[in-house]
Structure formats: C-alpha cells, structure tokens
C-alpha cells in the first residue's frame, strides 16, 4: 500500500507530502532540495487527496494560532483523530 507521509520543508517550514517511495523532495515554495528520510513525519496518510487537505488544515491551524509548530500533544491528538477516522471509514459497508 502506498502511504503519503506529511513532512515539513527544513528550509521554509512549509508542510508537504510525499509518497513512501520518494527519497528526495524539491520544495515547491522555496526550491530547497532535501532528503525525505531526514524530515520528521507528522502523519502518514492513505490517500494523496487527504494528504493535500490535511496539509492545508495544518498550515491554517498554525497560521490562526500564530504558532511555529505543533506541540507533541497536538501531534498525538492529530494522529489519534486520523486513526479514528480510518477505523470508521473501514467499517462502512461497501456497495
């Protein structure tokens, strides 16, 4: 299964995502090229559309709270909510 880790550019600190096979990322915002393995993973997401949505929400949250990053508690809460959403999604009947 392809996963999409949500990471952050070490240059400009913009959130982005990659597929789990990608080794390098060129930041579309600042042009910084970096090794994906060295970037901290905030969340692993199953779908690239979800990853895009979550990246926008994460940026919006930090901007609205005027924070530079998520606290460990906020990251744990984010991961918990995403895991619960996946559980509910997998229990839906398929038609």
Residue 77 pLDDT exceeds 70: yes
Given pLDDT bands bounded at 50, 70 and 90, which one contains residue 87? confident
Q: Tell whether 95 is covered by a domain.
A: no
Residue 69 pLDDT exceeds 80: yes
Q: Tell whether 82 is covered by a domain.
A: yes
Give the domain range for residue 18.
4-90
- The model's pTM: 0.85
- Residue 34 pairs in a beta bridge with 25
- State the total domains in the chain: 1
User: Please, which residues have CB within 8 angstroms of residue 55's CB and are 6 or more apart in sequence?
Assistant: 6, 15, 16, 17
Burial class (CB in 10 A: 0-12, 13-18, 19+), 43: buried
Residue 49 pLDDT exceeds 80: yes
Residue 95 pLDDT exceeds 70: no
Residue-level pLDDT at 86: 81
């Amino acid at each position: 299964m392809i996963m999409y880790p949500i990471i952050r550019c070490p240059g400009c600190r913009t959130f982005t995502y990659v597929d789990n096979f990608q080794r390098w990322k060129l930041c579309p915002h600042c042009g910084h090229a970096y090794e994906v393995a060295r970037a901290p993973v905030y969340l692993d997401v199953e779908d690239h559309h979800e990853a895009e949505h979550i990246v926008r929400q994460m940026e919006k949250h930090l901007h609205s709270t005027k924070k530079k990053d998520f606290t460990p508690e906020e990251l744990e809460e984010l991961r918990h909510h995403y895991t619960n959403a996946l559980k509910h999604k997998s229990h839906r009947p398929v038609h």
